[in-house]
Amino acid sequence: MQVAFRYFVFLILIYLKQLNDYIDHTLLKATATKEDIIELCEEAKRFKFYSVCVNSSYVSMAKEQLKNSDVKVCSVIGFPLGAMTTKAKVYEAQNALKNGADEIDMVMNIGFLKSKDFDGVRNDIEGVKQKMPNNILKVILETCYLDESEIIKASELAIQSGADFIKTSTGFGPGGARIEDVKLMLELAESSPVKVKASGGIKDTNTALEYINLGVSRIGTSSGIAIISGTPPTSHY
Amino acid sequence: MNIFKHIDYSLLKSTTTEREIIDFCHDAKDNQLNSVCVNSSYVALAKQLLNNTSVKICTVVGFPLGAMSTEAKVYEAQKAIKDGADEIDMVMNLGYLKSKNYVSVLKDITDVKLAIGTVPLKVVLEISELNKNEIIKACEICLDTNIDYIKTSSGFTKSGATLTCIKMIKKTVKNRIKIIASGGINSLETAKKYLETGAHRVDTSNLLKVEIDNLSHSYS
């Protein structure tokens, strides 16, 4: 009965919010050219993806490409290591917002987390959030490097520090999103307004739907077109 | 030649803990290495640990993708110097290079150099992602700046320095810019080969560990 009810809710959600609305259409490889970014933006407009996610040096170009469209621009910060100083992350975020970013995906300082310097982790996130109270901040935990207790701690710290989303992966680590990690993050975020973004290695419709069915609000992927059209992916990212 | 004086010792993985930085800085001090290279959030700690030693502190900027905005690279570099960095390694904007937007590649580098003044600047080309023409073009752009070193690799891609590539860079920049071989160099033997081929310095993250392992094997 409960399963049937959940499925029913899921169908309503899908009806209200199309699959494309979940997708941050992502291109973060270092060698992405101007033409690649233009194509990414064109695709995002054509398929009505929620946003494009790019490195900060391409934010103004993406914004220009997407003016007069509903597609948002998301920039990564401190990416993909999360190991730059808090002040530099804050500056990079402010600069990206000034250049037209609507949302920021920052990488948590994983080294501080592993050193149990929890104040350091908190200050890092709070520092960025303070400068962008009205924009969405997603905090990437890079779950492939964390054990269960570290995922719990990382999620709690991000939630306490003002994150709007907790996000699994950069796509640059040895692993991406995993069902069990996402379930755990969803549980931890349940009693807060914080949402979950699954990313890294999500390349086909079934996998994307599996995560959405679990309750994630956003999918980060370079295979957005394959996901919404059900064709095999061409990208490895 | 004291080979250790030509070795930059890097610890850049994102999961690095404070404890690892402490051990790492002690290693560098004990072996009188030229420098340690850490991510910018650990510069202040490394400075504290290496104060009053000859080991220099180097940090990375826009690392490892090189795809962050020029303004953010400039800020990250300035902040790191304030925290105690003696040298800056920045990654070239590879996307701009591949887009043939050479003006922006140049500006990215000159803006950082301008902001950090006399502090030595190394530009990481990330040769594994470039073809021969792109490597030459990247070197030519560097020749139009007053950077101090060209560095082959970040160590975060599929491969690092090659001897062929060191020769090619050397042929292009002559003696006007020094070369640092980096990425995948994990023995003193290999390090020597690079130095003989024209690299001025060698950057490694695991050479000491390898050498220490060898020593312990020879004793066992």
Give yes or no for a contact between A103 and A138, defined as CB atoms under 8 angstroms apart: yes
Q: What is the mean pLDDT of residues B176-202?
A: 94
Give yes or no for a contact between A80 and A173, defined as CB atoms under 8 angstroms apart: yes
Q: What is the pLDDT of residues A25-35, one digit of tens each?
A: 999 999 999 99
Nearest CA among A217, A219, A223 for reference residue A237:
A223
From A108-117, B2-11, B72-81, the region with the lowest mean pLDDT: B2-11
Give yes or no for a contact between B149 and B178, defined as CB atoms under 8 angstroms apart: yes
Nearest CA in chain A to B13: A81
CB atoms within 10 A of CB A35: 10
Provide the mean pLDDT of chain A. Answer: 94
Determine the pLDDT at residue B220. Answer: 38
Band (pLDDT 50/70/90 cuts) for residue A1 is low
Q: What is the pLDDT of residues B138-167, one digit of tens each?
A: 999 999 999 999 999 999 999 999 999 999
List the domain range (segments joined by +) for residue A7. Answer: 2-229
Domain B3-219, CATH: 3.20.20.70
Question: Does the pLDDT of residue B217 top 80, yes or no?
Answer: no
Residue A10 placed within a domain: yes
* 3-state SS record for A170-206: CCCCCCCCCHHHHHHHHHHHCCCCCEEEEECCCCCHH
Q: Are B76 and A84 inside 8 Å of each other by CB?
A: yes
CATH classification of the domain holding A6: 3.20.20.70
- Considering only CB atoms, A88 lies closest to which of B70, B79, B129, namely B79
Residue A236 placed within a domain: no
Q: Is A223 on the interface with B (CB under 8 A)?
A: no
Matching residue, tokens 């009505």: A48
Q: Are B68 and A57 inside 8 Å of each other by CB?
A: yes
- Considering only CB atoms, B69 lies closest to which of A28, A99, A107, namely A99
Band (pLDDT 50/70/90 cuts) for residue B121 is very high
Q: Which residues, numbered 156 to 195 in chain A, qualify as contacts with chain B under a Cβ-Cβ cut-off of 8 Å?
A: 172
Q: How far is B96 from chain A (nearest CA, A)?
A: 6
Looking at residue B132, its amino acid is: K
Q: What is the pLDDT of residues B28-70, one digit of tens each?
A: 998 888 999 999 999 999 999 999 999 999 999 999 999 999 9
Q: What is the mean pLDDT of residues B87-104?
A: 98
How many whole angstroms separate alpha carbon B152 and alpha carbon A204? 36
Strand partners, B60: B89
Nearest CA among A119, A75, A130 for reference residue A101:
A75
ipTM > 0.85 for the complex: yes
Among B41, B135, B153, the residue to mutate for chain A (most A Cβ within 10 A): B41
Q: Which residues, numbered 111 to 150 in chain A, qualify as contacts with chain B under a Cβ-Cβ cut-off of 8 Å?
A: 111-112, 114-115, 117, 142, 145
Question: Does the pLDDT of residue A234 top 70, yes or no?
Answer: no
Q: Are B72 and A35 inside 8 Å of each other by CB?
A: no
Q: Which residues, numbered 81 to 110 in chain A, qualify as contacts with chain B under a Cβ-Cβ cut-off of 8 Å?
A: 81-88, 91-92, 95-96, 99, 107, 109-110
How many whole angstroms separate alpha carbon A120 and alpha carbon A129? 14
Residue A235 placed within a domain: no
Structure-block tokens of residue B131: 């073809």
Q: What is the mean pLDDT of residues B97-116?
A: 98
Q: Are A34 and B95 inside 8 Å of each other by CB?
A: yes
Q: Is B82 on the interface with A (CB under 8 A)?
A: no
Structure-block tokens of residue B209: 């560990």
Give the residue numbers of A annotated as catalytic, written as ranges.
Answer: 105, 167, 197
Give yes or no for a contact between B185 and B194, defined as CB atoms under 8 angstroms apart: yes
Question: Does the pLDDT of residue A186 top 50, yes or no?
Answer: yes
Number of domains making up chain A: 1
Q: What is the pLDDT of residues A2-29, one digit of tens each?
A: 677 767 666 665 555 789 999 999 999 9
Residues of chain B with C-beta less than 8 angstroms from the C-beta of A147:
none
